[in-house]
Amino acid sequence: MGEKLYLIVYEFSKLLLSFMLINGLWIIVNVPILILLIQSAVTTELSSLLILLPLTSLLLPFIFFPGLQAVISSVRAVIREDAYGHPIDFFTFYKAGYKSSFLIGVGFSGIITAVGLTLYMNREGLILINTVLVVILFYTTILTFYSLYLDAHYKMPISWIVKKAIVYIIKSPFYTTAVFLAFILIQYIMVTVSLILYILFGLTLTIYFSYYLFLRRLEIKNKK
């Protein structure tokens, strides 16, 4: 009994350390974006925001999405291969998935920028138009979310990945939406409860659980 408990604690410790390492590497590669976001949060001048926000959006495909893809691929390795986070593995995934995650990021950044500008220009206009734009923004985010997950699982052309993500969402609209909303909710709760814990392993831990659910659902669908 004592030996079994020791093994459980040991494996859990290794897993937690892996999450902390992966999370730390993700933060390091995203330092430029984090600096821009902090500056955007503390600035009180509209002219500064009009420079900082577009610049942040521009950098997302180059920095944020490749880093996020490396996190997802690293977590997948932990789930599927019982591998534990290692800096070499993280940057191997970063390099291998850079092109596809960059293209996904370009599509996402382009759409949210266009929708954001339209919402800003129509802020005093028709509520129906704004509602439609918010719905587009929401499902674009979900599509991007699952495109990144699928890209980490399959080494296929980006057009195939996006089509597969669309089909996956259409076939399981409630499940995919629920998992995505749970992902966002857990992120929010962790940030508000303890920012330090979130910085240590928040993103990686949340991706671990959501990606596990994603893989289980994908395996069930593939068996049908």
Ranges of each domain in the chain? 2-223
Please check whether residue 100 is in contact with residue 61, taking contact to mean a CB–CB distance below 8 angstroms: no
Quick: pLDDT tens for 85-127: 677 889 999 999 999 999 999 999 888 888 888 887 877 777 8
In percent, the amount of the chain with pLDDT more than 70 equals 94
151-205: pLDDT as tens digits: 998 888 999 999 999 998 998 889 989 999 988 998 888 888 888 888 888 899 8
